Amino acid sequence: MKRRWFIASTVAVALATVGLTTACGGDQTAGGGDAGGTLTMATSADYPPYEFIETAGGTEEIVGFDIDIARHIATELGYELEITNMDFNGLIPALQAGRADFVMAGMTPTEERRQNVDFSEVYYEARQTIVFPTGGGITSPADLEGKTVGVQLGSIQEGLGQDLAETVPGMTLQSLNRINEIIQELNSGRIDAAIIEDTVAEGFLANNPNLEAVEIPEEGPAGSAIAFPRGSELVEDFNRVLAEMESSGLMEELIVRWFGDGAQ
Q: Given the rule CB under 6 A, which residues bind ligand ARG?
A: 44, 46-47, 50-51, 88, 105-108, 152, 155-156, 179, 197
Q: Least distance in Å: CB of 243 to ligand ARG?
A: 22
Sequential DSSP letters for 31-46: --SS--SEEEEEE--E
Contact assessment for residue 128 and residue 200, using Cβ atoms and an 8 Å cutoff: no
- Closer residue to ligand ARG, CB minimum distance, 51 or 76: 51
Q: Least distance in Å: CB of 178 to ligand ARG?
A: 8
- Closer residue to ligand ARG, CB minimum distance, 101 or 158: 158
- Closer residue to ligand ARG, CB minimum distance, 6 or 50: 50
- Closer residue to ligand ARG, CB minimum distance, 91 or 214: 91
| Beta pairing, strands 46-47 & 51-56 | antiparallel
- Closer residue to ligand ARG, CB minimum distance, 37 or 159: 159
Q: Least distance in Å: CB of 35 to ligand ARG?
A: 27
Q: Least distance in Å: CB of 158 to ligand ARG?
A: 8
The whole-angstrom separation of Cα 185 and Cα 179 is: 10
Q: Least distance in Å: CB of 51 to ligand ARG?
A: 6
Residue count of the chain? 264
- Closer residue to ligand ARG, CB minimum distance, 21 or 155: 155
Ranges of beta strands (E only) in 74-229 are 80-85, 102-103, 117-124, 128-133, 148-152, 172-176, 193-197, 211-215, 224-229
Q: Where are the alpha helices (DSSP H) in the chain?
A: 65-77, 91-96, 111-114, 156-167, 179-187, 198-207, 234-248, 250-259
Q: Least distance in Å: CB of 198 to ligand ARG?
A: 11
Q: Report the side by side order of strands in the sheet with 38-43.
A: 80-85, 38-43, 102-103, 224-229, 117-124
- Closer residue to ligand ARG, CB minimum distance, 47 or 238: 47
DSSP state for residue 52 in the 8-state scheme: E
Q: Least distance in Å: CB of 183 to ligand ARG?
A: 12
Query: Which of 123, 126, 6 lies closest to 71 in space, CA to CA?
Result: 6
Contact assessment for residue 73 and residue 241, using Cβ atoms and an 8 Å cutoff: yes
Give the SS3 label for residue 136.
coil
Q: Which residues of 240-259 are buried (b: 16+ CB within 10 A; e: fewer)?
A: ebbeebeeeeebeebbeebb
